Amino acid sequence: MKKITILIVIQFLFVSVYGQSAKEQLALANAAQLSNKNFYKEITFENRFGYFVIPVKIGNDVYQYIFDTGGYNTLTSEILEKNELPRLMEVQVGSSNQMKSKIAITKVPAVTINGIDFKDVGAFNFDFDASPQIKCYTNGGLIGKSIIGNAVWQINAAENKIILTDNIANLDNLDNALKIKVRVDKTLNPFIKVKINGKTESFLLDFGYGGFISLTEKDGKKYAAENVTEIIGEGAIGANGILQESTFVTALESFEISEIAIPNPIAYYSKSNNYNLIGTELTKYFIVTLNFQKSELYLTPLEGADSNGSGKSFGFDLNRNENTVYVSKIYNDLPADQAGLRVKDSVLTVNGQDINDYPYCDFYFYIRRLLREDKEICLEVKRSDEIKTLIIGKADLIIKP
């Protein structure tokens, strides 16, 4: 199953109706000031299928926010209106799958994370209405790179803990850490150098991507192994909706970060990918310490971390619209494809349960758990007027010759 991506890429393609220049727009989008000094806070986060969700206070209320190193800060219309925040300008934005929309930017007087205040924070008014999957992870939005870049954060996924501090000397777990230079661009995107099959490439460190490695189409084709699995149907799910395109999956020969080589990891690629991405599954291998003010990343290897491996998959995914649950993706030559399942087949029952009336997020997480945990799934599907029962097992995600 390909992870969704919640990267929001601002594209300043026009001057807003209020007359601000692109430079002024960028300054507002990047705005955030750390108010506290000499602090050390531990934050317990929830790992929701690869997305790290933390409590964030805006005004008098606490919301569940996704921690996203590759995205901008966002808030919903409900939060904006409840706190009487101004719509300072309107800009055109694109998500990682190149779909675009026009949205407003505001400035939040205070965003508080475990008692630590970030003042005058630029934030985009995003409701994710075109992406109900994202709304299952958050009722607030994204804590993005302008806030993250103002402090030091250490992510220990093994303990579901993030340490927030203003002094890296306060942190443990750095004695045997690898120190990596980070290039932070003008939009505050953090990039690092990684070797794929022995060749150096630039990667965006994007914790709005819930997987491990996502490549541009160019680099995907360049480094793909002989055996590639094509996923047909729905592609990347970004902030502006779902793109219909094929995604490809391959095992890389090697993937080396600083001195650490991870053999044969799985990588995804598609035509719409703007950047090579490293996502939250990096924390399966390392305790990750972010110190973007100093352009630094520290990776502390975790003992016993498993290789990404080939993985197992049923070879399909499901989604739901107003009318029915349907097959949204099929992986060529995997068990679902071999059993005769097809994209857009209507699904009447899953393991004997009718899930068409589930609230959307209950449906969504129920399917996520089944696809991850079960070894066999029974689907009752309808195509035209024909109803079939299919029993589907798992196989290696990458088919070997």
Does one domain contain both 182 and 325? no
Domain extent, residue 219, equals 170-301
| Residue position matching structure tokens 């000094």 | 37
Cα–Cα distance, 123 to 32 (Å, whole number): 9
Q: Which CATH number is 264's domain given?
A: 2.40.70.10
264 domain-assigned: yes
175 neighbors 150 (Cβ within 8 angstroms): no
Predicted pLDDT of residue 17? 44
Instruction: Tell which wins on pLDDT, 128 or 350.
Output: 350
Confidence check: pLDDT of 11 > 60: no
Overall average pLDDT of the 140-161 stretch: 97
The pairing of strands 183-184 and 190-196 is antiparallel
Instruction: Tell which wins on pLDDT, 17 or 168.
Output: 168
Confidence check: pLDDT of 173 > 70: yes
**320-362 pLDDT, tens per residue?**
998 899 999 999 999 999 999 999 999 999 999 999 999 999 9
126 domain-assigned: yes
Predicted pLDDT of residue 244? 84
Confidence check: pLDDT of 95 > 70: no
Cα–Cα distance, 36 to 50 (Å, whole number): 30
**212-271 pLDDT, tens per residue?**
999 999 999 999 999 999 999 998 776 666 778 999 999 999 999 988 999 889 999 999
Residues of the chain above pLDDT 90, percent: 78
Q: What are phi and psi of 216, to 5 degrees?
A: -65, 160
SS (H, E, C) the chain: CCCCECCEEECCCCCCCCCCCHHHHHHHHCCCEECCCCCEEEEECEEECCEEEEEEEECCEEEEEEECCCCCCEECHHHHHHCCCCCCEEEEEEECCCCEEEEEEEEEEEEEECCEEEEEEEEEECCCCCCHHHHCCCCCEEECHHHHCCCEEEEEHHHCEEEEECCHHHCCCCCCCEEEECEECCCCCEEEEEEECCEEEEEEECCCECCCEEEEHHHHHHHCCCCEEEEEEEEEEECCEEEECCEEEEECCEEEECCEEEECCEEEEECCCCCCEECHHHHHCEEEEEEHHHCEEEEEECCCCCCCCCCEECCEEEEECCCCEEEEEEECCCHHHHHCCCCCCEEEEECCECCCCCCHHHHHHHHHHHHHHCCEEEEEEEECCEEEEEEEECEECCCCC
Predicted pLDDT of residue 264? 86
Q: Which CATH number is 366's domain given?
A: 2.30.42.10
Does one domain contain both 187 and 263? yes
1 domain-assigned: no
32 neighbors 120 (Cβ within 8 angstroms): yes
Does one domain contain both 285 and 212? yes
Choosing from 244, 276, 301, the residue where a domain stops is 301
Does one domain contain both 109 and 200? no
Q: pLDDT band for position 2 (50/70/90)?
A: very low
Q: pLDDT band for position 88 (50/70/90)?
A: very high
Q: pLDDT band for position 100 (50/70/90)?
A: low
56 domain-assigned: yes
Q: What are phi and psi of 304, to 5 degrees?
A: 75, 10
189 domain-assigned: yes
Predicted pLDDT of residue 94? 56
Does one domain contain both 274 and 317? no
Does one domain contain both 384 and 286? no
149 neighbors 81 (Cβ within 8 angstroms): no
Predicted pLDDT of residue 185? 96
Choosing from 301, 328, 358, the residue where a domain stops is 301
All residues at 6 or more sequence positions from 304 whose CB lies less than 8 Å from its CB, including other chains: none
Does one domain contain both 138 and 192? no
**49-69 pLDDT, tens per residue?**
999 999 999 999 999 999 999
The two structure tokens encoding residue 93: 């934005």
Q: pLDDT band for position 93 (50/70/90)?
A: low
159 domain-assigned: yes
The two structure tokens encoding residue 2: 């390909």
3 domain-assigned: no
- Counting the structural domains of the chain, the total is 3
Mean pLDDT of all residues in the chain? 90
Predicted pLDDT of residue 64? 98
Cα–Cα distance, 206 to 208 (Å, whole number): 5
Predicted pLDDT of residue 106? 96
Does one domain contain both 163 and 178? no
Q: pLDDT band for position 10 (50/70/90)?
A: very low
Confidence check: pLDDT of 131 > 90: no
Does one domain contain both 138 and 191? no
Does one domain contain both 283 and 321? no
Distances (CA, A) of 229 to 113, 232, 253, 312, 400: 41, 10, 16, 13, 10
Does one domain contain both 233 and 339? no
**Within 10 Å of residue 222's Cβ, how many Cβ atoms?**
14
Confidence check: pLDDT of 124 > 90: yes
Overall average pLDDT of the 192-196 stretch: 97
Choosing from 138, 167, 196, the residue where a domain stops is 167
121 domain-assigned: yes
Does one domain contain both 34 and 135? yes
Overall average pLDDT of the 86-90 stretch: 91
All residues at 6 or more sequence positions from 253 whose CB lies less than 8 Å from its CB, including other chains: 197, 223, 225, 264
The pairing of strands 213-216 and 266-270 is parallel
Cα–Cα distance, 117 to 57 (Å, whole number): 9
